[in-house]
Amino acid sequence: MDGPNSIEFTMKKKEDVKTAVHRFWIFCACFMTAAAIIAVLAFAVTPAMVVMFTPALLVGAGVAWWYFKRFTRIEYEYVILSGELSVSAIYDNRSRRDLIKGAKISDMHKIVPYHTNEPLLNAPEIREVLYYCSDLANPDLYLAIFDDSKKGRIALVFNTNRKFMQIMKFYNSLNAIVKNDFQF
């Protein structure tokens, strides 16, 4: 989809220990619920009924685990189309959720590198900080500050590359800073 008026950039969220712990707790929640229902059934009905419902409960727990674990595998897609920035989350390459849709780049107050401008996040006029990035240690993080009609002033932390930032600078040359040392 890259062209003179559009570009897209995708970055997978880094999987760390926290993500593994989330997956473990999702697994425990699904299968412990099934085990608790089986235990209650063991005291409430005949053993034949327990044997009959156990496979269905275990299959249901497996399906629930498969459904909920996808929320721990996230990819962020950043798209610029006709001067508007859109950000989507892609869960386990199966489903997409629009997080930001149609934020006008020309109306953004600042588009600056994150690591040198992190104190901007503590400004009193910023209502919400959205971290839609792979991890905060990535050297190619940027910070965009813009106004949203529903939420007020928002700070967006996102991954980018040189070409993506050059197009953002094209649409907002006064408030965008493009650094020279991109890794991607």
The predicted-structure confidence for 7-27, as pLDDT tens digits, reads as follows 888 888 877 788 788 889 988
pLDDT reported for residue 144: 93
Residue 104 has pLDDT above 90, yes or no: yes
Distance CA 128, CA 145 (A): 10
pLDDT reported for residue 179: 79
Amino acid at 59: V
CA atoms within 13 A on the CB side of 88: 16
| pTM for this predicted structure | 0.77
pLDDT reported for residue 140: 87
pLDDT reported for residue 1: 55
Give 183 or 137, the one with higher predicted confidence: 137
Amino acid at 62: G
pLDDT reported for residue 3: 61
pLDDT reported for residue 87: 94
> pLDDT tens digit string along 44-94?
877 777 788 888 888 888 888 888 888 778 899 999 998 999 999 998 888
Distance CA 142, CA 113 (A): 4
Long-range contacts of 159-166 (CB under 8 A, 24+ apart): 159/9, 159/11, 159/76, 159/78, 159/133, 159/134, 160/9, 160/78, 161/9, 163/2, 163/7, 164/7, 164/9, 164/78, 164/80, 165/111
Distance CA 29, CA 64 (A): 10
Reduced to 3 states, what is the DSSP secondary structure of residue 164? helix
- Are 140 and 182 in contact by the 8 Å Cβ rule? The answer is yes
How many CB atoms within 10 Å of residue 183? 8
Give 181 or 166, the one with higher predicted confidence: 166
Residue 117 has pLDDT above 90, yes or no: no
Q: Which two tokens stand for residue 177?
A: 């800073």
Name the least confident of 15-24, 50-59, 127-136, 174-183: 174-183
Which of 171, 169, 104, 122 shows the shortest CA–CA distance to 142?
Answer: 169
Beta bridge partners of 89: 76, 97
Distance CA 97, CA 10 (A): 14
